[in-house]
Amino acid sequence: MQYSSQAVAKPYFVAAIGLFIGQVLFGLIMGLQYVIGDFLFPAIPFNVARMVHTNLLIVWLLFGFMGSAYYMIPEETETELYSPKLAITMFWIFLVAGALTIVGYLAVPYAELARMTGNDLLETMGREFLEQPLVTKLGIVVVALAFLFNLTMTMLKGRKTSVGLVLMMGLWGLAVMFLFSFYNPSNLVMDKYFWWWVVHLWVEGVWELILGALLAFVLIKVTGVDREVIEKWLYVIITLTLVTGIIGTGHHYFWIGTPEYWQWWGSVFSALEPIPFFAMTVFAFNMVNRRRREHPNKAAVLWALGTGVMAFLGAGVWGFLHTLAPVNYYTHGTQITAAHGHMAFYGAYAMVVITLISYAMPILRGRAANSNKAQVVEMWSFWLMTIAMVFITLFLTAAGILQVWLQRMSTNPMPFMAAQEQVALFYWLREGTGVVFLIGLLMYVASFFIGGDEASQKAS
Amino acid sequence: MSGTFTKSMARNIFFGGTVFFALLFLALTFDSMQAIPKRDNHANLTPAVVAGKKVWETNNCIGCHTLLGEGAYFAPELGNVYKRRGPDFIKAWIKSQPTGAPGRRQMPNFHLSEQQLDDLVEFLKYTSEINTANWPPNIEG
């Protein structure tokens, strides 16, 4: 570790992985409820499990982004962090607030939680992904501001690189767009219109800047390719991202009471959204092929390449699959959406955070790379999780196609629940693959505890 | 990429492109704000509908159901449920939950008052009258 203040990243990474395990466990509960409807009912109704599953995802990715930024910015700016103490304080505040929120979801009926936490003062709860109580939302803003203050102050006193700048733009964008979560008009159309300013402009906008910056950082480190080349690629990729992705928001404005010209704007621009992801894949492989050094951390290189491929497949290809308005008319709000959501989040965001952790964690623990033995286990976990996610996506896609056929296209359309029963086989297969994913994740965790021969550590 | 295409050119294209498309998006949003009142059924946005939306939100209905196709995919679409089932069925259904049928997906009982049920039905009626460009494809949602 070049700068001692980078060490604040470590607890963030540990928390991210811990919450990731929680997310997957709740995913398995929900997957089982899809086929055994009364599983864990009424202790954990599906809506509660889903809230925990999606909120844990968001929170662990935020922990991952913050940890990554705390690790990267000192190295990029070539100076110590403005205030490591503030970073650690914010870590604990965020962790406790996050844990209390999850406990609140599980322990108290949601309506009661809303009443207890002041939802009557400003009604923001009960909207998908933004279910957090008002106090938690305010807490997120406070933590985000303190975090951005800390990093911006660091940036101001140090070297300003393009990687650092793009990362900071992404993180500031994340905080700014989150403010729309406090706007919840009674008019449902307006509510939905601006709800997407948080959700879409996060995951298909500013988060992609963060993704690009993290990937570029790791590629600079592990390939030794000239920074100028990598940063040029980075700008090209994020240009393509925002040029397609901002107007691409329109693919959510097809059927919610918005003007119908969005069917054209949304279809055309979001059809172009795979391009930046394809560029990212080409970029990652190109840089690794042109590498000027053999970095001992093979696992990190694998995660970096995997991020490019899986983000392209999940966000790019599976997004394109149902983004054209005439197709989306039939697929909107079906298991096709769920299939896309799973592979896109894993391929783009889960994997890039793991890439950064995989690269940085050994260094934070005082070595350039883990032992060969530990890396082998980590690479096994890569393949198990990634292949499991591919199959989860394929099974959900199959379920979705059948659902669309039975419920929406048939001349004699089936009711929702009747169609669900017809596709139960695919839900069982998805659940089985989910167990494989969990095994992969546990192997990933295990890889942190595998020591190994001195020789390989010295060689690095 | 050849040497003639420099990093600073890439950066300028990024800033220029982003600003241009962000402004275009804002212009389209401005235009949408003018057009939405023709489609959003706001004439029927009564106090009961507003109260019903709150019942919808504070019971996390979106955690299982979709509303105009957005939400969770565990339970039926409710954007058009008013047209599919009618007000009396909706109220009776909510009151009779959970069914307790073994192995079937279960909906909790939210202990809604008669007033809350009426408000929720009003909200679902208002939602079903939003002009959604003929989505969903049929009454099953």
For B71, the enclosing helix (H) or strand (E) is: strand B70-71
Q: Is residue A242 part of a domain?
A: no
Parallel, antiparallel or unpaired: strands B66-67 and B70-71: antiparallel
- CB-CB: which of A131, A235, A408 is closest to B138? A408
Q: Mean pLDDT, chain A, as a whole number? A: 97
Separation between Cα atoms, residue A393 and residue A385, nearest integer Å: 12
The answer to whether residues B118 and B49 belong to one domain is yes
* Residue A453 pLDDT class (50, 70, 90 cuts): low
The answer to whether residues B67 and B111 belong to one domain is yes
- Contact B64/A53 with Cβ under 8 angstroms? no
CB contact under 8 A, B69 and A128: no
Please, what sign has the CA dihedral across residues A384, A386, A388, A390? negative
Residues of B with Cβ-Cβ distance to A190 under 8 angstroms = 36, 40
> Would you call A255 helix, strand, or coil by DSSP?
coil
The answer to whether residues B67 and B107 belong to one domain is yes
The answer to whether residues B123 and B61 belong to one domain is yes
pLDDT in tens, A113-172: 999 999 999 999 999 999 999 999 999 999 999 999 999 999 999 999 999 999 999 999
The answer to whether residues B29 and B44 belong to one domain is no
Please, what sign has the CA dihedral across residues B134, B135, B138, B139? negative
The answer to whether residues B57 and B97 belong to one domain is yes
> Would you call B9 helix, strand, or coil by DSSP?
helix
What are the CA-CA distances from residue A214 to residues A267, A297, A349 (Å)? Answer: 29, 16, 10
Phi-psi region of B133 (alpha: psi -120 to 50; beta: other; left: phi over 0): left
Q: Is residue A239 part of a domain?
A: no
Q: Is residue A353 part of a domain?
A: no
Q: Is residue B32 part of a domain?
A: yes
- Contact A340/A365 with Cβ under 8 angstroms? no
- CB-CB: which of A114, A243, A333 is closest to B17? A243
pLDDT in tens, A253-297: 999 999 999 999 999 999 999 999 999 999 999 999 999 999 999
Q: In residues, how long is chain A?
A: 460
Q: In residues, how long is chain B?
A: 141
Tokens matching residue A199: 């959700």
Q: What type of residue sits at position B11? A: R
The answer to whether residues B90 and B105 belong to one domain is yes
pTM above 0.95, yes or no: yes
A385 CB near a chain B CB, below 8 Å?
no
pLDDT in tens, B39-51: 999 999 999 999 9
CB contact under 8 A, B18 and A247: no
Separation between Cα atoms, residue A254 and residue A233, nearest integer Å: 33
Measure B48 CA to nearest chain A CA, in Å. 11
**Full domain range(s) for residue A80:** 1-137
Q: Is residue A33 part of a domain?
A: yes
The answer to whether residues B25 and B45 belong to one domain is no
Say what angle helices A424-447 and A9-35 make with each other, to 10 degrees: 160
For residue B94, give the CATH number of its domain. 1.10.760.10
Cβ within 8 Å of B, A 233-272: 233, 235-236, 238-239, 242-243, 246-247, 249-250, 253-260, 262-263, 265
Cβ within 8 Å of B, A 82-111: 109-111
The answer to whether residues B32 and B43 belong to one domain is no
Q: Is residue B110 part of a domain?
A: yes
Q: Is residue B25 part of a domain?
A: yes
Q: Is residue B136 part of a domain?
A: no
How many other β-carbons are positioned within 10 Å of the β-carbon of residue A116? 12
Question: What is the reported pLDDT for A455?
Answer: 41
Structural domains of chain B, count: 2
pLDDT in tens, A43-97: 999 999 999 999 999 999 999 999 999 999 999 999 999 999 999 999 999 999 9
What are φ and ψ of residue A414, in 5° steps? Answer: -85, 150
**Full domain range(s) for residue B89:** 39-128
Residues of A with Cβ-Cβ distance to B141 under 8 angstroms = 407, 416
The answer to whether residues B121 and B60 belong to one domain is yes
Q: Is residue B141 part of a domain?
A: no
Residues of A with Cβ-Cβ distance to B76 under 8 angstroms = 415-417
Paired with B70 in beta bridges are B67
The answer to whether residues B92 and B62 belong to one domain is yes
The answer to whether residues B18 and B53 belong to one domain is no
Separation between Cα atoms, residue A69 and residue A78, nearest integer Å: 13
Residues contacting residue A102 through CB under 8 Å, at least 6 positions apart: A22, A52, A55, A56
Question: What is the reported pLDDT for A411?
Answer: 92
Residues contacting residue A324 through CB under 8 Å, at least 6 positions apart: A267, A271
Structural domains of chain A, count: 1
Separation between Cα atoms, residue A77 and residue B129, nearest integer Å: 55
pLDDT in tens, A296-315: 999 999 999 999 999 999 99
What are the CA-CA distances from residue A305 to residues A191, A196, A287 (Å)? Answer: 38, 30, 10
Measure B92 CA to nearest chain A CA, in Å. 18
Q: Is residue B73 part of a domain?
A: yes
Separation between Cα atoms, residue A32 and residue A45, nearest integer Å: 12
Q: Is residue A43 part of a domain?
A: yes
Determine which of A196, A416, A421 to mutate to test the interface with B (most B C-beta atoms within 10 Å): A416
Question: What is the reported pLDDT for A1?
Answer: 85
pLDDT in tens, A321-361: 999 999 999 999 999 999 999 999 999 999 999 999 999 99
CB contact under 8 A, A260 and B133: yes
Residues of A with Cβ-Cβ distance to B35 under 8 angstroms = 258-259
Residues of A with Cβ-Cβ distance to B57 under 8 angstroms = 114, 123, 125-127, 184
Determine which of A226, A332, A410 to mutate to test the interface with B (most B C-beta atoms within 10 Å): A332
CB contact under 8 A, A47 and B72: yes
Asked if residue A456 has pLDDT above 90, the reply is no
Asked if residue B111 has pLDDT above 70, the reply is yes
Q: Is residue B134 part of a domain?
A: no
- CB-CB: which of A37, A232, A414 is closest to B105? A37
* Residue A101 pLDDT class (50, 70, 90 cuts): very high
CB contact under 8 A, A247 and B24: yes
- CB-CB: which of B22, B57, B104 is closest to A123? B57
Q: Is residue B18 part of a domain?
A: yes
